[in-house]
Structure 1
């Protein structure tokens, strides 16, 4: 097969059908050193369990990195799944947003990885967005702090294809490959990326990744290029009955850590309200909220790129400390704005659902659904951006038509919660941390 041209675009799953993201022109070396500027947050929570990380019999270097991060107790999902993962079992893992799923596969693969083995890469991690790939790489980098011989690199659309080819050919010792399926599938098809020795195959946000046939086909290309005998680990906060049979096609006799009651998926420490309002009244209401509420950081979700552009531009031009992020931006601009928000340089983020999954911004304590989510999974992932690490938070959904009412009603039915109308007087102690 002929090599792809450098100008050919690899669309990521989260990109809108009518949006083509131009290739980045910035010379961005996405290896260990390119991650140095990232502010890294541990994905997890303080657990009520008595187990400590030292009880998991981890490498001293790995345990030391965990202790440096200030964490002593694993969360429930970590305590249950890390020992199974270290034993080499396949996993299908579901847990609430912010409860440490990422740390399960990062810690377990670093525990088992042998960088002295000449047969590499050993680990491949697939994620739906560039931002999540970058964040996951930062987690690997954080916990391999005292394992400097372990190497990793990122691969995703939006940068020149030739740079990925050069990266792979110049670094045959790469241990961990992290990326989005479109770019990795292209590298596999063009016989640039060899995965003959992969021992650990991870799909994060697997429900989103496996839902659409075209995305699933890309994953299958990568999966089929790996050995039949390997460990497969699948992770998400939301795993529907419809997606589970597809997940089962990738695993063999897995350990399943599942939430059997949807009500347990909701984040009880997040206060949830709705506002019945006309479309014309949304902007005035939002400005009032931004001017009157005390908050650390806010994420405002909209449903389309055009809506993000409109609202983000309005807030910025009216001197609100805001940034916007959506799939219509070049990759380097998206990562720069992500870092700007993460580093607290901006306190308001306007985003599409590109930012709705897995992104960990510790200071976010208010989420506003300026546009009502289309379904309950979308709602859960959005509000999960606030109140991370078991902190308190506030989520407000604007409801402007009959479809919005139906969608919000479906959320309440599925998660067995009562989302009340927003009161005239808000008690800010409910979300102040």
Structure 2
């Protein structure tokens, strides 16, 4: 969050409105060396606690695969996956506001129960849509990285990276939306360029995980478990 200049300004404004004598705690699954000095500006002589080696960060219970394909093949492959996979709810990540809107429109035209959330919407609209998705009114969410952090929805058991994230850290935050609360999950990443392959290699090296190509058949029991939770479809 603090990597964004606009977000940093917002945090600074919030700090100005709080008492000078206060306790400040910051938590992050990933914290780069570049952003640590920025964090310390908001704290006084902080104690740093690391739960584990960053290289060992991983997501237990999450099955991870990739698919190599061209950009033009993405829509057809996504359609096939949504028809074939057994999901409670799924989050599909894209790299821009325009792609989120276009993909969501395409999915709705194909009669998929889809909704999108991106930074081009007002905060009120985003919260309304998030609440609707969390309550089960829609089963598919198309989103930018705005939804990649701090979003906890128990029904989500599949994440699809329609567009490759820009870094290993962003990948971790995205796929972490699936398989939360001790449940199982599945993450599928589309790889359509040399730069996509480079990021995938970074992910495997950084987190010491072997991500294999998606097989033709995948055992549903490895990523899905029944949840006794009601849906309220529109």
Give TM-score scaled by structure 2 length: 0.90
Uncovered stretches (5+) of structure 1, i.e. residues with no partner: 1-207
Could you tell me which residue of structure 2 aligns to residue 363 of structure 1?
155
Could you tell me which residue of structure 2 aligns to residue 299 of structure 1?
91
CA contact (8 A) 1:312 1:323 kept: yes
Q: Which of 87, 108, 111 is the equivalent residue of 1:316?
A: 108
Q: Structure 2 vs 1, CA of residues 320 and 213 (structure 1 numbering), >3 Å: closer, same or farther?
A: closer
Q: Which of 7, 11, 14 is the equivalent residue of 1:222?
A: 14
C-alpha displacement of 1:264: 3.1
Could you tell me which residue of structure 1 aligns to residue 215 of structure 2?
423
Q: 2:126 aligned with 1:341, yes or no?
A: no
Q: 2:133 aligned with 1:352, yes or no?
A: no
Uncovered stretches (5+) of structure 2, i.e. residues with no partner: 226-234
Instruction: Compare CA radii of gyration and give the structure with the larger one.
Output: 1
- How far, CA to CA, are the matches of 1:256 and 1:262 in structure 2? 14
Q: Secondary structure at the match of 1:258?
A: coil
Structure 1 runs of 4+ off > 4 angstroms? none
- How far, CA to CA, are the matches of 1:376 and 1:300 in structure 2? 17
Deviates more, 1:237-246 or 1:247-256: 247-256
CA contact (8 A) 1:259 1:265 kept: no
User: 1:224-279: per-residue Cα shift (whole Å, max 9, x none)?
Assistant: 44333210111221111221222222223434332442243210210000000000
Q: 2:209 aligned with 1:386, yes or no?
A: no
- How far, CA to CA, are the matches of 1:379 and 1:330 in structure 2? 25
- How far, CA to CA, are the matches of 1:289 and 1:215 in structure 2? 35
- How far, CA to CA, are the matches of 1:303 and 1:240 in structure 2? 21
Give the superposed CA RMSD: 1.6
Could you tell me which residue of structure 2 aligns to residue 256 of structure 1?
48
Could you tell me which residue of structure 2 aligns to residue 331 of structure 1?
123
Could you tell me which residue of structure 2 aligns to residue 244 of structure 1?
36
Q: Secondary structure at the match of 2:31?
A: coil
CA contact (8 A) 1:374 1:407 kept: yes
Give TM-score scaled by structure 1 length: 0.50
- How far, CA to CA, are the matches of 2:79 and 2:12 in structure 1? 46
Could you tell me which residue of structure 1 aligns to residue 59 of structure 2?
267
CA contact (8 A) 2:100 2:144 kept: yes
Q: Secondary structure at the match of 1:273?
A: strand
User: 1:10-43: per-residue Cα shift (whole Å, max 9, x none)?
Assistant: xxxxxxxxxxxxxxxxxxxxxxxxxxxxxxxxxx
Q: Which of 380, 386, 409 is the equivalent residue of 2:201?
A: 409
- How far, CA to CA, are the matches of 2:28 and 2:124 in structure 1? 26
- How far, CA to CA, are the matches of 1:346 and 1:263 in structure 2? 36
C-alpha displacement of 1:357: 0.7
Q: What is the number of residues matched between the two proteins? A: 225
